[in-house]
Amino acid sequence: MAFELKMPQLGLTMEEGTVSKWVKHEGDAVKAGDVILEITTDKLTNEVTSEVEGTLLKIVAQEGDDVPVKGTLAWIGQSGEAAGGAPAAPSVPFAPAAAAATAAPVKPAGDKSVIVIGGGPGGYVAAIRAAQLGAKVTVIEKQYLGGTCLNVGCIPTKCLLHSAELVEDIRNQGKEIGVEVEGVKVNFPQVIAHKNEISKKLTSGVAGLLKMNKVKKIDGEASFTAPGKLSVKKADGTSEAMTADAIIVAAGSVNAVPPIPGIKENPYCIDSTGALSLEALPKSMVVIGGGVIGLELACAYAAFGTKITVVEAMDHMLPMLDGDLTKIGVAHMKKMGMEFHLECPVQSVEKSSVGAKVVCKNKAGETVSFEAEKVLVAIGRKANTASLNLDASGLKNDRGRILVNDRMETNVPGVYAIGDCVFGKAQLAHTASAMGEVAAENIMGIPAEYNEKTNPTCVYIEPEAASVGLTEEQCKAQGISYKVGKFPMSANGKALILNGGEGLVKIIAGTEFGEILGMHIIGPRATDLIAEGALAIGEEMTLDEIISTIHSHPTVTETMREAALQAEKRAIHTSNK
């Protein structure tokens, strides 16, 4: 008797999945455990395997179909056997009661049309939010869904860093904690393959989310022909004039290339995208730039065994972080074997027998040079608006960065801009997503404003660091009276277990009322812990309120309460000095 392959339930809240790709085809032989197809649910792509051996007799659900949990996907049996299946059951429609329960007013579908230029973390979130509120939405994407973040930015970088962290832990902490491993080696092609697999799962998940929310996607490149009017060059070479009630520009950013002689001509010079797709692990690398992008990748490659040299024109690195955090981070990176040369601007890049030679001027005015197999150019990013024809758009901009207000409105009525392509805002994925929701809600008549005071900065160096709100330097510059509480990770049990207690939590609060002004963390779980600081600032919480909240033990979260106690000279597990 033929076996009925059904849509699995991959989570308690899963109601349906989308067939994204058939790996096997009708007539193919199938073994138990073989991957038959890929399905998309929420933001993930999952593989469905066969429980039986036989032949794929009949495919019931086609690629792109939405199938409810336990709905029929296909039939597997013996060759020549009749398939006993019927067409897949139709998708379960959203219950009207669920829509009525939302606090936001829902407009009839198609009441407003919205075009979103760009399918990155700002664009696809804006599209989904506008669609939720009743808009007829089209996303125009010229390269790939997920933007820089999912494809060549946040997610791929963190994949490399996770592999690097495992290597570091085994080499440096394994023996101490009783885990001895001989011959630890890095299979670099597999590191890259794992990175590619994770990106693929997430990007195909975004496609599934857009489809689930009935957002139309056009593969093509948009440019303005007049204010509020677009021409879209599609992937098939045709062009179409388009307009809508509202347009959201979510074009993102690209790596900036400094005007340094020799960089563009030297094939051994790579940007962050190139650093995430190398085929072989380089023995040496010079990193130009001591910002987030350069140092995150530097940490990963240093852990893999690459000799890293960082050159920076300024007298300090990671300017977005509190100075105390930077000191701890740099000290750790030096322990990893990385070399730093500050106040050492690059003059040129030349050919070398090794690969490339980076020629600099040091603080004393002397010419110094550094040779390496690869040179990572990481001096920042610029708005990806060159192809938008901003001259015709009427949009006010600063060297391609579009000017917006806190409602994400541009100077052209009906045109909004979000994310990395706007002027004067943090270039972060979560920033773009927040802006996307704000833009969509304003378009659909729900007043919303973007407020950056709760926007965290996360830096995935070793150990990872995170910051939200004001630093001491900013408080001093603004004349704000403040007090500081600090707690070392070395006095926290869970941090001692995880990384030997390396790191610090620092809380800055107002002197009179104790309101939280800033929170800065370096150490284990820092980028997860920072959400408490963002919430505290957003809700105008005080030191007393953090102190009165019981934090579970043993966890790294205790360090935040301990820092608040120290600010009030009430520290239990550290000095009050």
Q: In 3-state terms, what secondary structure has residue 166?
A: helix
Exposure class string for 487-499: b at 16+ Cβ within 10 A, else e: bbbebbebbeebb
User: What's the CATH number for 463-567?
Assistant: 3.30.390.30
Query: pLDDT tens, 505-558?
Result: 999 999 999 999 999 999 999 999 999 999 999 999 999 999 999 999 999 999
Query: pLDDT tens, 271-290?
Result: 999 999 999 999 999 999 99
In the prediction, which pLDDT does 93 show?
37
Residue 34: pLDDT over 80:
yes
Exposure class string for 548-560: b at 16+ Cβ within 10 A, else e: eeebeeeebbbbb
- Its pTM stands at 0.83
Total number of residues shown for the chain = 577
Residues near 527 by beta carbon (within 8 Å), at least 6 away in sequence: 456, 458, 460, 464, 465, 466
Q: Which CATH number fits domain 3-77: 2.40.50.100, 3.40.50.300, 3.40.47.10, 3.10.310.10?
A: 2.40.50.100
- Say how far apart CA 404 and CA 410 lie, in whole Å: 5
Cβ(43)–Cβ(205) below 8 Å: yes
Q: What percent of the chain stands above pLDDT 90?
A: 86
Please state the domain extents for the chain.
3-77, 113-148+193-254+382-454, 269-379, 463-567
Fold agreement (113-148+193-254+382-454, 269-379): yes
CATH classification (class only), 269-379? alpha beta
- Span 333-344, average pLDDT: 97
Most confident of 175-189, 196-210, 336-350: 336-350
Token representation of residue 101: 């329960």
- Say how far apart CA 21 and CA 16 lie, in whole Å: 16
For the chain, the distance separating the N- and C-terminal CA atoms, rounded to the nearest angstrom, is 77
Token representation of residue 79: 């060759």
Residue 553 annotated as catalytic: yes
Query: pLDDT tens, 123-156?
Result: 999 999 999 999 999 999 999 999 999 999 999 9
Cβ(270)–Cβ(374) below 8 Å: yes
Q: Where do we find the tokens 């006010």?
A: 396
Three-point CA angle 197, 465, 435, nearest 5°: 70
In the prediction, which pLDDT does 366 show?
96
Token representation of residue 59: 């495919």
Assigned fold of 113-148+193-254+382-454: FAD/NAD(P)-binding domain (3.50.50)
Given 316, 430, 553, 573, the catalytic residue: 553
Backbone angles phi, psi at 507, to 5 degrees: -115, 135
Residue 102: pLDDT over 50:
no
In the prediction, which pLDDT does 107 show?
44
Most confident of 18-27, 118-127, 317-326: 118-127
